[in-house]
């Protein structure tokens, strides 16, 4: 499924003055509509002009939020083996030890009443438009996006989602949101560094046995192999994640109500205490709390994160 990449004649002094005045008024009207200054019914421009550079819009205290993404946002393996644990989700969970983004922004009661989690374990970027459709129905103040690990975690390097497809699917998700909820803000977390997770978890013998069940084989198969071929395979997966993050950043930059985390999640150095003791790859409750902390810092910052 592919997407389309989508002098006046002579006049007297009085006439010239009228033309100049009318042009100034028109410029002002265009400028206001381009910035969506008061958050009206029109969406913030999805493709901002390089010349106009309209002001980015951001409310640091959204009053509701929805989360979309994959197993990380469902807190898979954070509480028990091979199970989702949404109460421990970094985005919308209620677990007191995690202190999710929703709890930090909305308070515990607000998080229970005004946050929704549409992430799904195993989801890839191609699944995000449908998740975004569900999230947009609530017209949330903020939508969080953390997805892409499963696009790289495939049966082989060759099976990884092509970057152009990844980009097109994220663009479609953003268009889906804007059709229904023009003023929702979007926080986009970078895809984690999967090679770093391999490095952090490979010292655990139990974890490596679990990896053999088929967890992220493009990165984790033959986890003890350090030959040049195996290392090159892992480097290719990491490079693909870097390309995915570039696509996320570039698409987000075109929407005035979108913030990319500047690569903060990708750059975070998870250690073994922040990985699930069930699979030594997904975030533990401690790891989920770290993701919530990063997100809160980026969402409430007065200035967008540096890329």
Helix (H, G, I), strand (E, B) or coil at 229: helix
Q: Is residue 234 part of a domain?
A: yes
Round to whole Å and give the CA distance between 71 and 251.
23
The sign of the CA dihedral 243, 239, 270, 165 is positive
Residue 248: give its domain's CATH number.
3.40.50.1110
Q: Is residue 205 part of a domain?
A: yes
Give residue 39's region: left, alpha or beta (phi > 0; psi -120 to 50).
left
Q: Is residue 55 part of a domain?
A: no
Round to whole Å and give the CA distance between 292 and 299.
10
Cβ atoms of 75 and 93 closer than 8 Å: yes
The pLDDT of residue 126 is 98
Q: Is residue 28 part of a domain?
A: no
Q: Is residue 168 part of a domain?
A: yes
Could you identify the residue written with the tokens 């002098």? 7
Round to whole Å and give the CA distance between 130 and 121.
14
Mark the ranges of the chain whose per-residue pLDDT is less than 70: 1-53, 307
Q: pLDDT tens-digit profile of 118-132?
A: 999 999 999 999 999
Question: How many domains, the chain?
Answer: 1
Q: Is residue 41 part of a domain?
A: no
Q: By residue range, what is the domain housing residue 166?
A: 65-300
The pLDDT of residue 37 is 31
Q: Is residue 177 part of a domain?
A: yes
Angle at 102 between CA 98 and CA 104, to 5 degrees: 70
Q: How many other C-beta atoms are found inside a 10 Å radius of the C-beta of residue 221? A: 17
Cβ atoms of 51 and 101 closer than 8 Å: no
Residue 178 makes CB contacts below 8 A (sequence gap 6+) with 43, 44, 46, 255
Q: Is residue 16 part of a domain?
A: no
């Amino acid at each position: 499924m592919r997407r389309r990449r989508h002098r006046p004649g002579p006049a007297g002094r009085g006439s010239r003055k009228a033309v100049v005045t009318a042009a100034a008024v028109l410029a002002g009207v265009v400028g206001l509509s381009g910035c969506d200054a008061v958050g009206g019914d029109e969406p913030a421009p999805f493709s901002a002009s390089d010349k106009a550079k309209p002001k980015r819009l951001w409310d640091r205290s959204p009053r509701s939020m929805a989360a979309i993404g994959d197993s990380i946002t469902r807190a898979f393996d954070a509480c028990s083996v091979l199970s989702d644990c949404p109460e421990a989700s970094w985005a919308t969970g209620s677990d007191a030890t995690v202190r999710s983004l929703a709890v930090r922004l909305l308070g515990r009661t607000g998080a229970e009443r005004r946050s929704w989690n549409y992430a799904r374990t195993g989801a890839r970027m191609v699944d995000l438009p449908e998740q975004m459709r569900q999230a947009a129905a609530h017209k949330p103040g903020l939508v969080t996006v953390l997805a892409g690990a499963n696009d790289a975690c495939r049966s082989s390097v060759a099976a990884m989602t092509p970057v152009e497809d990844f980009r097109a699917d994220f663009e479609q998700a953003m268009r889906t949101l804007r059709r229904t909820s023009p003023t929702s803000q979007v926080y986009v977390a970078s895809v984690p560094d999967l090679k770093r997770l391999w490095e952090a978890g490979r010292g655990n013998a139990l974890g490596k046995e679990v990896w053999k069940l088929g967890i992220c084989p493009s990165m984790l198969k033959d986890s003890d192999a350090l030959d040049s071929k195996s290392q090159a395979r892992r480097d290719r997966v990491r490079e693909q994640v870097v390309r995915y993050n570039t696509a996320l950043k570039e698409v987000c930059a075109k929407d005035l109500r979108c913030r990319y985390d500047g690569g903060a999640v990708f750059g975070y150095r998870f250690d073994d205490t922040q990985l699930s003791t069930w699979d030594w790859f997904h975030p533990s409750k401690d790891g989920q709390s770290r993701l919530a902390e990063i997100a809160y810092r980026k969402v409430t910052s007065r200035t967008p994160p540096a890329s």
